[in-house]
């Protein structure tokens, strides 16, 4: 034995609620060390005593053998004076609130060990739907405050029975200090209610399965909120759900028992398989093999996820329909319902039954959505399973709150090396979403001990998110929408200096007071310059125009053909009167705005090709236009680019309309328009390169969720010697804005 040494070791990152202390305890025992480990405000703190060489091995193993869910962001150690007569290693009491940041683990899918126990008739948790351990179960959604200990979670109301307590206190047990630990005897339990709010007799799971098979709609409490479930193969049940949910066309997410069941209905690549099975269990967008009626009308992709709570596994094990609709429990555009209080009022017009339980959800967290695009994972919505993990960027942040945008809102809190995006909040014009936005920010400040001293907001004068940020009495950085899109991609890819940024988007407020959204920018973190943009169109009808693509179609045709547009077949189809009303509003400049939005251009073409005249959900018309495009067509339309980088689509529209009016192949026309936009992006990038010498191009904006457009754009850029960058862990849509804002504010704020 070498000389006795003692080391103080601090570990930060995601180390609470992931079985880290029992891991350390067992590791210390294996190495014959004495000392202690505890949770503090920064992460885990330990002191270990033994021979120097053994301590070296111990420290190495802390890093190398850490539990599955742990993410170590730093490990510091220092030598301290040995303690005499210490011969055990123990787990000590947590130290509450130290003024530093601590991380909480995201909620995780049930682990294989727990699943096996749950399905084993000899196990004491046989069929228990709240089974969990230090490797799995709810986390973020049950935490009221940190440190992550049972009294600070929504499990505080459940007293552990002697058996559970023994597991909880036994360092060699898989449930040692598993805060949500529970069993049938002492933990949460299910209750099935009918629409009159009376308890349904019998086993809640078997009864739920019976009702689902009978075509009923059941609201099922999950980890971050309620889902609405029904048999996806029962056309009547699906239609009923659409009617009651006031959701005419927006796709429904589906859930099947396992991968094998999924293969019956979907084309699944190796990469998609990995995403379906990943610990985060996101909804994965997949190509359907067969038409499932009423699920995703007119679209190619379906959202599918696999069971991720013990309860969902049990429903399938007990005979639930092969394919379940599992859509967010809400009406229309409201955020997902997560509170039991008010549940009846909110959902009793939609659901026939409610499968609920008495473990409160503290924080709402929607399902995440991902897809495989160009061979890589593209995050569409980053929420359950990912939140609240930090985005790595190598940046150093002041204590900052970035408010994001008003659509698909995600806020972001940052401090030091950490930037922590919040959950998907939704569209803030909805009062409940706005309430959730403000409450979740407070929660994050509290949990991560970040007290913002700076605020970053979108420069839009009317955004709820921006006005909230401006009202806080802190120094405000106003960030241009597309600058934020590009900066987010730059930071996620570790780029410095200047880049060419391409933002193809729905809408974003431009510094000239018009609506931008088809932009090529020369960007650095602290400034940007517009280098080119899609054609500017005057649009009438205010908010209605985004919902009704024909209004954009009419505006575009008027711009190109003047009043003779009224002679087109299109006008006859839409209604000459309606067209004239739009024309005169534009002539008189009543309720009009100018827009270069790429989203609106896709709306216009979708309308001109009669694909979609009403956006039932954001992006529907462009998505349907993409779905019908002939994917092998390589033709393009002509266009012009002015010396200032302003594009003209006059020629594009003329040729497109001639083809359409003469009964051309609409799949071909759609593809040619996609190809044209991809060519425009290339030309504008070439122009920017000629002026600046820059070769790096960052792509952002929700319109790039169009797979055909993205793949053509990437191919064009690569062929021309550009290096194109996409988001890594954040969505390409407005879900990335707050991170981009935080990055820009960190670089531009005055000290
Ligand atoms: Zn487990
Ligand atoms: Zn128990
Ligand atoms: Fe945007």
Residue at which a domain ends, from 62, 91, 120: 91
CB 644 within 8 Å of CB 677: no
Domain that holds residue 250: 190-369
Residue 147, preceding bond cis, omega within 30 degrees? Answer: yes
Gap between the Cα atoms of 367 and 306, Å rounded: 11
CA atoms within 13 A on the CB side of 72: 20
Distance 318 CA to ligand 3 centre (A): 44
3-class secondary structure, 556: helix
Query: Do 594 and 514 contact (CB within 8 A), yes or no?
Result: yes
Distance 50 CA to ligand 2 centre (A): 37
| CB distance 70 to 104 below 8 Å | no
Report how far ligand 1's centroid is from the alpha carbon of 644 (Å).
60
Ligand approaching nearest to the C-alpha of 135? 1
343 & 407 share domain: no
Q: Enumerate the β-bridge partners of residue 693.
A: none
pLDDT digit string, tens, across residues 497-553: 999 999 999 999 999 999 999 999 999 999 999 999 999 999 998 888 889 999 999
Residues whose CB is less than 8 angstroms from the CB of residue 337 and which lie 6 or more positions away in sequence, other chains included: 219, 225, 226, 329, 330, 343, 346, 347
3-state secondary structure of 466: helix
Domain membership of residue 693 (yes or no) is no
pLDDT for residue 101: 53
Nearest ligand for residue 155 CA = 2
The ligand that comes nearest to the alpha carbon of residue 167 is 2
- Residue 547 Cα to ligand 3 midpoint, Å, equals 17
Q: Which ligand is nearest to the CA of 19?
A: 1
Q: First-to-last CA distance in the chain?
A: 54
Please check whether residues 653 and 744 belong to one and the same domain.
no
- The C-alpha atoms of residue 243 and residue 348 are separated, in whole angstroms, by 14
- Cα-to-centroid distance, 597 and ligand 3 (Å): 10
Distance 512 CA to ligand 3 centre (A): 17
Q: Is residue 159 part of a domain?
A: no
Ligand nearest to C-alpha 182 = 2
pLDDT given for residue 100 in this prediction: 47
DSSP 207-232: HHHHHHHTT--EEEE-SSSEEEEEET
From the CA of 481, the nearest ligand is: 3
Distance 167 CA to ligand 1 centre (A): 13
Distance (angstroms) between ligand 2 centre and the Cα of 182 equals: 5
Query: Which positions ≥6 away from 166 have C-beta within 8 Å?
Result: 173
Ligand showing the shortest atom-to-Cα distance for residue 599: 3
Q: Using CA atoms, how far apart are residues 233 and 321, in angstroms rounded to an integer? A: 8
Residue appearing with tokens 């008739």: 121
Tell me, yes or no, whether 686 lies in a domain. Answer: no
> How far out from the chain centre does Cα 172 lie?
36
Co-location of 422 and 550 in the same domain: no
Listed residue (616, 432, 406, 592) closest to 508, CA to CA: 406
**Boundary residue ending a domain (314, 337, 369):** 369
- Residues 234, 345, single domain; the answer is yes
DSSP bridge pairs for 10: 45, 76
The burial of 3, by beta-carbon neighbours within 10 Å (0-12 exposed, 13-18 middle, 19 or more buried), is given as: exposed
Q: Which residues lie across from 39 on neighbouring strands?
A: 44
Q: How far is the CA of 718 from the centre of ligand 1 (A)?
A: 45
Ligand nearest to C-alpha 137: 1
Phi, psi of 346 (to 5 degrees): -75, -40
Six token digits for residue 138: 């709810």
CB neighbour class for 361 (10 Å; exposed up to 12, middle 13-18, buried from 19): buried
Q: What's the CA-to-centroid distance between 108 and ligand 1, angstroms?
A: 9
| Integer Cα distance of 419 and 397 in angstroms | 8
Ligand 3: distance of its center to the CA of 328 in Å?
23
Q: Could you tell me the distance, in angstroms and rounded to a whole number, from the CA of residue 564 to the centre of ligand 3?
A: 35
Shared-domain flag, residues 412 and 523: yes
206 contacts: CB under 8 Å, gap ≥ 6: 318
Q: Which ligand is nearest to the CA of 117?
A: 1
CA 311 to ligand 1 center in whole angstroms:
13
The rounded Å distance from CA 118 to ligand 1 centre is 10
**Residue 623 included in any domain:** yes
Residue 11 is assigned to a structural domain of this protein: yes
Whole-angstrom Cα distance, residue 740 to residue 457? 10
Residue 699 domain flag: no
Cα(482)–Cα(488) distance, rounded to whole angstroms? 10
Give residue 206 CA to ligand 2 midpoint distance, Å. 23
Residue 153 CA to ligand 1 centre (angstroms): 18
The string of pLDDT tens digits covering residues 431-489 is 999 999 999 999 999 888 899 999 999 999 999 999 999 999 999 999 999 999 999 99
**What residues does 561 pair with on adjacent strands?**
none
pLDDT at 666: 96
| 313 CA from centroid of ligand 1 (Å) | 13
The pLDDT of residue 19 is 82
Q: Which ligand is nearest to the CA of 125?
A: 2
Domain-embedded: residue 562: yes
195: domain CATH number? 3.90.870.40
Ligand nearest to the CA of 483: 3
Distance 137 CA to ligand 1 centre (A): 7
How many other C-beta atoms are found inside a 10 Å radius of the C-beta of residue 347? Answer: 21
**What pLDDT score does 375 carry?**
84
The count of structural domains within the chain is: 4
- Contact call for residues 568 and 554 (beta carbons, < 8 A): no
Q: Residue 117 contacts by C-beta under 8 Å, 6 or more apart in sequence?
A: 123, 125, 126, 131
Considering the domain architecture, whether residues 568 and 440 belong to the same structural domain is answered as no
Same domain, 357 and 412: no
- Any idea which ligand is nearest the CA of 703? 3
* Ligand lying nearest the CA atom of residue 67: 1
Distance 253 CA to ligand 2 centre (A): 34
Closest Cα partner for 138 from 223, 66, 78?
223
Which one, of 176, 164, 351, 333, lies nearest residue 250 by Cα?
Answer: 333
218 CA distance to ligand 1 centroid (A)?
27
Counting ligands in written order, the one closest to the CA of 737 is: 3
* Ligand with smallest separation from the Cα of 618: 3
Question: C-alpha angle 136/140/145, rounded to 5°?
Answer: 125
The β-bridge relationship of strands 266-267 and 353-357 is unpaired
Q: Tell me, letter by letter, the H, E, C secondary structure of 379-435.
A: EEECCCCCCCCCECCCCCEEEEEECCCCCCECCEEEEECEEEECCCCECCCCHHHHH
CA of 742 to the centre of ligand 2 (A): 45
CA of 383 from ligand 2 middle (Å) equals 30
168 Cα–ligand 2 center, Å = 10
Q: What is the CATH number of the domain that holds 17?
A: 3.30.70.100
Q: How far apart are CA 560 and CA 654, in angstroms?
A: 7
Measured distance CA(263)–CA(387) in Å, rounded = 29
One domain, residues 329 and 407: no
CATH code, 466: 3.30.420.360
H or E element at residue 700: strand 696-700
Strand partners, 286: 302
Tokens of 671: 């593809």
Number of Cβ within 10 Å of residue 429's Cβ equals 13
pLDDT at residue 96, rounded to an integer = 57
Residue 607 CA, ligand 2 centroid: distance in Å: 60
Distance 736 CA to ligand 3 centre (A): 9
Same domain, 233 and 304: yes
pLDDT of residue 98: 44
Phi/psi at 642 (nearest 5 deg)? -75, 170
**Per-position DSSP letters for 667-725, written without gaps between them:** HHHHHHHHHHHHHHHHHHHHHHHHHH---EEEEESGGGG-HHHHHHHHHHHHHTT-EEE
Strands (E) in 569-695, as ranges, are 592-595, 640-641, 647-648
CATH value at residue 565: 3.30.420.40
Beta carbons within 8 Å of 274's beta carbon, 6+ residues apart: none
Q: Ligand 3 centroid vs 482 CA: distance in angstroms?
A: 6
Token pair, residue 185, equals: 């005897």
Contact 343, 351 (CB under 8 A): no
User: Taking the CB of residue 465, how many other CB atoms lie within 10 A of it?
Assistant: 26
Spacing, Cα 702 to ligand 3 middle (Å): 6
Parts of the chain with a pLDDT under 50: 97-100
Could you say which ligand is closest to the alpha carbon of residue 175?
1
Q: Do 520 and 379 belong together in one domain?
A: yes
Q: Is residue 555 part of a domain?
A: yes
Same domain? 526 vs 538: no
- One domain for residues 357 and 245: yes
CA of 483 to the centre of ligand 3 (A): 10
Chosen domain end from 34, 57, 91:
91
* Ligand of minimum distance to the alpha carbon of 118: 1
Look up the pTM and report it: 0.91
């Amino acid at each position: 034995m070498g000389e006795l040494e003692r080391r103080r070791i601090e570990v930060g990152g995601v180390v609470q609620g992931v079985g880290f202390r029992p891991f350390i305890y067992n590791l210390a025992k294996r190495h014959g060390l004495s000392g202690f480990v505890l949770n503090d405000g920064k992460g885990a703190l330990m002191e270990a005593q033994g021979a120097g060489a053994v301590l070296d091995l111990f420290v190495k193993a802390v890093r190398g053998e850490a539990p599955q869910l742990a993410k170590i962001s730093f490990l510091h150690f220092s030598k301290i004076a040995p303690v005499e007569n210490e011969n055990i290693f123990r787990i000590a009491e947590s130290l509450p609130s130290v003024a530093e940041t601590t991380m909480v683990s995201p909620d995780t899918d049930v682990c294989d060990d727990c699943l096996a126990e749950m399905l084993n008739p000899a196990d004491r948790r046989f069929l228990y739907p709240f089974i969990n351990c230090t490797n799995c179960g709810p986390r973020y959604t049950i935490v009221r405050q940190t440190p992550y200990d049972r009294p600070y979670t929504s499990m505080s109301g459940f007293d552990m029975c002697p058996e559970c307590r023994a597991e909880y206190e036994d360092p060699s047990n898989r449930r040692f200090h598993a805060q949500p630990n529970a069993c049938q005897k002492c933990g949460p339990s299910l209750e099935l209610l009918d629409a009159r709010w009376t308890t349904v007799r019998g086993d809640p799971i078997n009864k739920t399965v019976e009702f689902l098979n009978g075509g009923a709609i059941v609201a099922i409490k999950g980890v971050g909120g309620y889902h609405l479930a029904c048999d996806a193969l029962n056309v009547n049940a699906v239609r009923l759900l659409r009617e009651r949910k006031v959701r005419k066309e927006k796709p429904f997410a589906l859930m099947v028992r396992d991968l094998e069941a999924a293969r019956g209905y979907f084309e699944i690549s190796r990469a998609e398989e990995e995403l379906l099975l990943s610990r985060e269990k996101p909804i994965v967008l997949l190509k359907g093999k067969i038409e499932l009626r009423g699920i995703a009308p007119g679209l190619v992709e379906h959202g599918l996820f696999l069971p991720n709570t013990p309860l969902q596994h049990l429903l399938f094990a007990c005979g639930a329909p092969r394919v379940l609709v599992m859509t967010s429990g809400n009406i229309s555009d409201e955020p997902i319902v997560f509170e039991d209080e008010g549940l009846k009022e909110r959902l009793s017009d939609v659901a026939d039954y409610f499968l609920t339980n008495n473990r409160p959800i503290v924080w709402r967290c929607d399902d995440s959505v991902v897809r495989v695009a160009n061979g890589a994972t593209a995050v569409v919505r980053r929420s359950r399973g990912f939140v609240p993990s930090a985005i790595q960027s190598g940046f150093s942040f002041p204590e900052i709150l970035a408010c994001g945008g008003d659509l698909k809102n995600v806020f972001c809190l940052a401090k030091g090396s950490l930037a922590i995006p919040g959950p998907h909040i939704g569209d803030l014009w909805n009062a409940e979403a706005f309430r959730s936005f403000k409450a979740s920010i407070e929660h994050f400040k509290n949990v991560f001990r970040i007290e913002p001293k700076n605020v970053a907001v979108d420069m839009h004068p009317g955004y709820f998110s921006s006005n909230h940020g401006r009202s806080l009495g802190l120094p405000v950085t106003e960030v241009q929408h597309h600058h934020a899109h590009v900066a987010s991609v730059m930071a996620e890819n570790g780029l410095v200096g200047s880049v060419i940024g391409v933002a193809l988007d729905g809408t974003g407020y431009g510094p000239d007071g018009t609506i931008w959204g088809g932009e090529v920018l020369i960007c650095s973190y602290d400034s940007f310059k517009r280098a080119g943009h899609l054609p500017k169109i005057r649009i009438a009808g205010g908010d209605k125009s985004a919902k009704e693509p024909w209004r954009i179609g009419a505006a575009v045709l008027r711009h190109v053909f003047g009043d003779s547009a009224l002679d087109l077949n299109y006008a006859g189809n839409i209604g000459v009167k309606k067209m004239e009303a739009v024309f005169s509003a534009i002539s008189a400049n009543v309720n009009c705005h100018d827009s270069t939005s790429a989203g609106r251009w896709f709306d216009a073409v979708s309308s001109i090709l009669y694909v979609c005249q009403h956006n039932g959900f954001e992006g529907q018309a462009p998505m349907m236009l993409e779905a019908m495009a002939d994917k092998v067509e390589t033709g393009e339309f002509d266009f012009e680019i002015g010396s200032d980088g302003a594009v003209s689509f006059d020629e594009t529209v003329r040729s497109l309309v001639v083809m359409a009016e003469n009964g051309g192949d609409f799949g071909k026309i759609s593809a040619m328009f996609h190809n044209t936009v991809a060519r425009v992006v290339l030309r504008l990038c070439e122009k920017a390169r000629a002026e600046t010498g820059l070769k790096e191009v960052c792509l952002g904006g929700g319109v790039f969720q169009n797979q055909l457009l993205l793949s053509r754009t990437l191919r064009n850029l690569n062929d021309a010697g550009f290096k194109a960058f996409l988001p890594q862990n954040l969505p390409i849509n407005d879900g990335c804005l707050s991170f981009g804002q935080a990055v820009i504010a960190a670089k531009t704020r005055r000290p």
